[in-house]
Structure 1
Amino acid sequence: MKRLLALMGFCLFTQTVHAGPSINIGTVYDYLDGDKSTYLKRVFNGGDSTAFVKVNILEILYDATDGKSQEVPLKTTADGSGRDGLMASPARLIVPANGMQGTRLLFMGERDRERYFRVRFVPVVPEKEDEFAVSSEEREDYRKSLSAGVTVLAGYGAVFFVRPKETRFDSAIENNAGTYRIRNNGNSVVVVDEFKDCSVKNEQDCQPTTKHHILAGRTFEFEKQAGREYQFTLVEGERSKKLDVKG
């Protein structure tokens, strides 16, 4: 089974603190449809102190030969008029304890092909150069409040899919004697969601449920085993279909 997409990023930042922020970004995969240019992403803070969060964005590029990915800084447009890719507005969030703030992800550039981005939400102790709208006194007070013990400030990464303007789905399924295969002949990602591999006779005998992304031109497949049942939902944009395959 081919690995088609890098999973979410995860980073930890340790500060001396007794109690602090605890952020949650909800889903770690988000999709911008071809007829949309902006997407609202919400950041929740379940901790008992304010979270200062930086939003960092890199573009994910896939090698056409071996499928390996690399994350690179965003570039400007060819004519130098602006950024070519995804931007966050605002890129600095102050999220109150037990509260929520949102940032709007805006895509600027050509939509002739699908593009992929890593969006990281990184909680920090604010410094002057971080450009948070707080005074020096407020920064110092916050720093002092995080000084009684040890906690972990956890940052999370989401993968953001920007679909082509003219999105086309075309999933070709081959259900052979020993193999089940889905080839994405369209131009946008297809999702195999909640993939379950269970014994027909013992419903407790199941492999962990998984999620798979099939990029355009790529294939997802699995070997069918006698006595096993495979259930999943095939998601093509707003359309979804539940499938049940017997081994």
Structure 2
Amino acid sequence: MKVFTVVLAMLMYALTAQAGPSINVGVVYDYLDGDKSTYLKRIFNGGTSTAFVRVEILEILYDDHGAAQEVPLKSQAASTARDGLMASPARLIVPANGMQGTRLVYLGERKRERYFRVRYIPVVPEKEDAFAVSEEEREAYQSSLQAGVSVLAGYGTVFFVRPQDTRFDTRIENDGGKYVVRNNGNSVIEVDEFKNCVAGKPNDCHPTTKNHVLPGRAFSFDKEKGREYTFKLVEGETRKNQVVKG
């Protein structure tokens, strides 16, 4: 069994931390429904100076044992169709206390579900970057960061591209001392806000978790006497509250 657990990749770029850009990408997990091909992602900058953000995309591949590997997207010849996820634009200039959006566009076949890591990385613009700023503006920006103490932090999110003919087929096995949520569909489901608590004591719990269950995989837990398990089963736009007694 392999469950796609919560992953939050933070990339720290220590420069010189009281002033500077501070980006926020919102939710860590985004989903592209089977009948859509574009998704608008908003990037917020709550800092005191402009943020120059580079968007990078890797594909997440799983082997037969469920182990994940992040690989660069294959480059395509100009004469062939693109296959994968792209960001437009891939370079963002986000003003202080402002917001900019990038459109994530999927091009390619949709027979199976695919997964991507999308990284939003604040950078100090260099000559080779495509930020369309002059040399004077670039030097002034660098000087403003070096004048104080600043940390540029980037975030990695996970982007799910559902198949065109999305089909949910979740099976529950509740036998003996084990509870299993099995995904027999062709798109990811969520076991969200999973809580393992002492029965009758909703504040006496293990840490709450969010779990992604990929097609063909399962999420399970052992039921213990005197404990209660609650979670939300999420299939696309459908959410069902579940309560399991130990």
Q: Same fold (TM over 0.5)?
A: yes
Q: Is the 8 A contact 1:84 1:109 kept in 2?
A: yes
The answer to whether the aligner puts 1:103 opposite 2:102 as a matched pair is yes
The answer to whether the 8 A contact 1:45-1:97 is kept is yes
Q: Does 1:50 align with 2:46?
A: no
Report the Cα distance in structure 2 between the residues aligned to 1:84 and 1:162, rounded to whole angstroms: 12
Give SS of 1:83's match.
coil
- 1:34 is aligned to 34
| TM-score (structure 2 length as normaliser) | 0.96
Q: CA deviation at 1:2?
A: 4.2
Shift in Å, 1:75: 1.5
Say whether the 8 Å CA contact 2:168–2:184 is kept in structure 1: yes
Deviation at 1:81, TM superposition (A): 1.9
2:163 aligned with 1:164: yes
SS in 1 for 2:138: helix
Paired residues of 1:17 and 1:148 also in contact (CA < 8 A)? no
Aligned to 1:88: 87
The alpha-carbon distance between structure 1 residues 197 and 110, as it changes in their structure 2 partners (threshold 3 A), is same
Aligned counterparts of 1:83 and 1:60: Cα–Cα separation in 2: 17
Q: Quick check: 154-163 or 13-22, which moved more?
A: 13-22
Paired residues in the alignment total: 246
User: For residue 245 of structure 2, what is the aligned residue in structure 1?
Assistant: 246
d(CA) in 1 for partners of 2:181, 2:31: 21
Residue number in structure 1 paired with 2:132: 133
Determine the structure 2 residue equivalent to 1:16: 16
Alignment of 1:145 with 2:144, yes or no, is yes
5+ residue gaps in structure 2? none
Could you give the per-residue CA deviations for residues 79-121 of structure 1, whole angstroms, max 9, x where no partner exists? 9524310000000000000110000000001100000000000
Q: Which amino acid aligns with 1:150?
A: V
Q: C-alpha root-mean-square deviation of aligned residues, in Å?
A: 1.6
> Match of 1:59?
59
Please show how residues 90-239 of structure 1 align to structure 2 within 5 Å: 90-239=89-238
Structure 1 runs of 4+ with >3 Å offset:
76-80
8 Å CA contact 1:196–1:206 kept in 2: the answer is: yes
Structure 2 CA distance for aligned equivalents of residues 99 and 23 of structure 1: 10
Paired with 1:120 and 1:68, the residues of 2 have a C-alpha distance of 20
Give the Cα–Cα distance (whole angstroms) in 1 for the partners of residues 228 and 235 of structure 2. 22
Shift of 1:8: 2.4
Q: Measured at CA, do residues 17 and 245 of structure 1 come closer, stay the same or move farther in structure 2, by a change above 3 Å?
A: closer
Partners of 2:84 and 2:56 in 1: CA distance: 13
Task: With the length of structure 1 as denominator, give the TM-score of the two structures.
Answer: 0.95
Secondary structure of 2:143's match? Answer: helix
Give the whole-Å Cα distance in 2 for the aligned partners of 1:171 and 1:86: 27
For the 8 Å contact 2:16–2:149, the answer to whether it is kept is yes
* Letter in structure 1 aligned against 2:73: L
CA distance in 2, matches of 1:106, 1:56: 13
Match of 1:75, SS state, is coil
Gaps of at least 5 residues in structure 1 are: none
Deviations, residues 21-51 of structure 1 (Å, cap 9, x unaligned): 0000000000000000000000000101000
Q: Is the 8 A contact 1:54 1:92 kept in 2?
A: yes
Deviation (angstroms), 1:215: 0.2
Return the offset for 1:203: 2.5
- The aligned amino acid for 1:109 is G
- The answer to whether the 8 Å contact 1:17/1:147 transfers is no
Q: Percent identity?
A: 68
AA paired with 1:121?
A: Y
